[in-house]
Amino acid sequence: MNTSKAVLQMEGVKKSFPAHHGSVEVLRKVEFSVLEGEFIAITGPSGSGKSTCLHLASLLDYPSSGKVIFDGEDTSRLNESELCHLRKKKVGMVFQKYCLLPYRSVFENVLFRFRYLEHERADAEKRTVNALETVDMIGIANRPARLLSGGEMQRTAIARAIALEPRLLVADEPTGNLDKASAKTVMEYFQRLNHQGITVLLVTHNEALLNFCTRHLLCRDGIIEG
């Protein structure tokens, strides 16, 4: 019996968006849990709802109905400020577009993670160094982000996401802009982080990435299967 604690639970989650001709239902009824230590990949065709599902898991949005329970807390009971605080403290996010500050250094890009949080400068800098060491980027910490390769940019983005030791690391098509070799390297870092105890939820079109994950979910027509 698996006794791991659930980091994320979705219970009867539906999500609709307003449209000119009426609301469009993107998620119809989503039910799944992410347990501590898992590395889960969600795949599915374009328009299936997988990115919407990831946005809800990242606490970037509310469901239209149902519950998103994060680390034991029913997020439907939180206001926007409380939800934002929970997201900042406990969720690390990596996207297909690296979202780096091009003229700032690698170190400054990761340190930026602490800008709106109450952390002593020394502690924030120590955590930044630790995160960069984890993804083997400390050697070029002073290099401007605009001079990095695609793989180095994504590794910097990963360092930024893990600097606060998140309860959940989410990644939306993190290898979509990378060549095959760089994609493999980035996925190996995700796998290493998972082996170190970080829970990972990944959305991808690339089924080759499933080899790095511990569980696979399929999103189809607004429903999660698997």
53-92, pLDDT tens digit by residue? 999 999 998 999 999 999 999 998 999 999 998 998 899 9
d(CA 207, CA 29): 24
Please report the pLDDT score of residue 3 as a whole number: 58
Reply yes or no on whether the pLDDT at 34 is more than 80: yes
| Nearest residue to 167 (alpha-carbon basis) of 192, 201, 133 | 201
* Model pLDDT, residue 45: 86
Mean pLDDT, the chain, integer = 92
Q: Give the count of beta carbons closer than 10 Å to the beta carbon of residue 225.
A: 11
The two three-digit tokens of residue 23, written as one number:
């609301």
Residue 144: its pLDDT value, please?
A: 97
Among 32-46, 109-123, 176-190, name the one with the lowest average pLDDT: 109-123
Give 69's contacts (C-beta < 8 A, 6+ positions apart).
6, 8, 9, 10, 11, 75
Q: Rounded CA gap, 157 and 208, in Å?
A: 22
Res 43: pLDDT = 93
Q: How large is the C-alpha radius of gyration of the chain? A: 17
Pairing outcome for strands 6-17 and 65-70: antiparallel
Q: Other CB atoms closer than 10 Å to residue 104's CB: what's the count?
A: 15
Share of the chain above pLDDT 70, in %: 99
Q: How far apart are CA 62 and CA 46, in angstroms?
A: 21
For residue 110 the two structure tokens come to 């990761």
pLDDT at site 2: 53
Question: For tokens 């400020």, what's the residue?
Answer: 81
The residues pairing with 169 across neighbouring beta strands, listed in sequence order, are: 92, 200
Whether the pLDDT of residue 223 is over 70: the answer is yes
Statement: residue 21 has pLDDT above 70? yes
What's the pTM value of the predicted model, to 2 decimals? 0.92
Residue 37 has pLDDT above 70, yes or no: yes
CA distance 93 to 80: 18
CA 190: distance to chain centroid? Answer: 11
Token digits for 93?
A: 């996010």
Contact indicator for 146, 178 with CB cutoff of 8 Å: no
User: Among 19-23, 46-50, 213-217, which stretch is predicted with the lowest mean pLDDT?
Assistant: 19-23
Q: pLDDT tens digits for 144-191?
A: 999 999 999 999 999 999 999 999 999 999 998 899 999 999 999 999
